[in-house]
Amino acid sequence: MKSKVYFTKEITPQSVLALYKKLGKELPGNIAIKVHSGEEGNQNFLRPAFWKEIVDYVGGTIVECNTAYEGARNTTDRHRVLLKKHGWSDMYPVDLLDAQGPDLELAVPNGVRIQKNFVGKDIQNYDSALILSHFKGHPMGGYGGALKQLSIGFASSYGKAYIHGIGDPEHFWDREQDAFLEAMADAAGSVVALLKGEIVYINVMKNMSVDCDCCSTAEDPCIGDIGVLISLDPVAIDQACLDLVYACDDPGKSHLIERIESRNGVHTIEAAAALGLGSREYELITV
């Protein structure tokens, strides 16, 4: 059976909430709401106010993890300063999952590239998750969406380096590309298993640069806004976003497609599908 992906061209806080209600999934217990806090200087990340209606409705806690490279988010103290500067901690309760160690080590028994994953230990305090992703390009992954949020997003600072280095953090920057993408898929599967699949995914196709929100100096958006998608399937929602980029008539899409293809970004989706995390076959339901 094809996975259901709901889609609207309207990109507003109200349309995000309407899609969530249309999906009809009630997340149980204590809900982790994963966002991207946005690197210092980045102009494209989705601001806290954009998510307010869905966050207030769900009633969960905003969660993030520290980065593994130089910047304003690579230590707990720096990240907390930025979370306040960007408005997250003023508007919502925020939990920096790896604020204090030790990390939580997750087994990846079926991993193709890595057999363990390191996440912020406070994820153990949550029963389910709402993954709020800004779909855009990425300098290393080709694109960033739901699968990146599951893997790199929930990984601790050490865990991010572990995934990038395919089990060897010392080789963060010189890994083989497809192996890195496969390691991301491996890590994503461990988070899905931990939360027993109690996850909803929202991808927003707005402010789409070739660069990620983790870049302090990012290219401006190269393609017009497309819409908002929601699904219970991280593979299907990311595949649908790629398909919408290819199908649109915006001439700027060539820049985003070049970034995706030059990094073989689709391989993360292929690897995640091979692990059984979801299906590349989906039904796009326009709302």
Give tens-digit pLDDT for 204-232: 999 999 999 989 889 999 999 999 999 99
70 has a pLDDT exceeding 90: no
Residues 132-158, buried b or exposed e (16+ Cβ, 10 A)? bbbbbbbebbbbbbbbbbbbbbbbbbb
Instruction: Provide the whole-model pTM.
Output: 0.97
In this predicted structure, what is the pLDDT of residue 173? 85
In this predicted structure, what is the pLDDT of residue 87? 97
Reported as a pLDDT band with limits 50, 70 and 90, residue 174 is confident
CB 6 within 8 A of CB 231: yes
Nearest to 203 by CA among 242, 163, 249, 164: 242
Give tens-digit pLDDT for 238-248: 999 999 999 99
72 has a pLDDT exceeding 90: no
Round the average pLDDT of the chain to a whole number and report it.
Answer: 97
1 has a pLDDT exceeding 90: no
3-state secondary structure 38-85: CCCCCCCCCCHHHHHHHHHHHCCEEEECCCCCCCCCCCHHHHHHHHHH
- Greatest extent of the chain over all pairs of C-alpha atoms, in Å: 48
In this predicted structure, what is the pLDDT of residue 67? 94
5 has a pLDDT exceeding 90: yes
Reported as a pLDDT band with limits 50, 70 and 90, residue 51 is very high
In this predicted structure, what is the pLDDT of residue 113? 98
> What is the distance between the alpha carbons of residues 76 and 223, in angstroms, rounded to a whole number?
34
Reported as a pLDDT band with limits 50, 70 and 90, residue 52 is very high
The DSSP result for 189-207, as a single string, is HHHHHHTTT-EEEEEEE-S
Structure tokens at 54: 């869905």
Share of residues in the chain with pLDDT > 70 (%): 100
Give tens-digit pLDDT for 243-263: 999 999 999 999 999 999 999
69 has a pLDDT exceeding 90: no
CB 136 within 8 A of CB 143: yes
Nearest to 155 by CA among 213, 217, 106, 193: 106
Reported as a pLDDT band with limits 50, 70 and 90, residue 11 is very high
95 has a pLDDT exceeding 90: yes
Give tens-digit pLDDT for 119-165: 999 999 999 999 999 999 999 999 999 999 999 999 999 999 999 99
Reported as a pLDDT band with limits 50, 70 and 90, residue 185 is very high
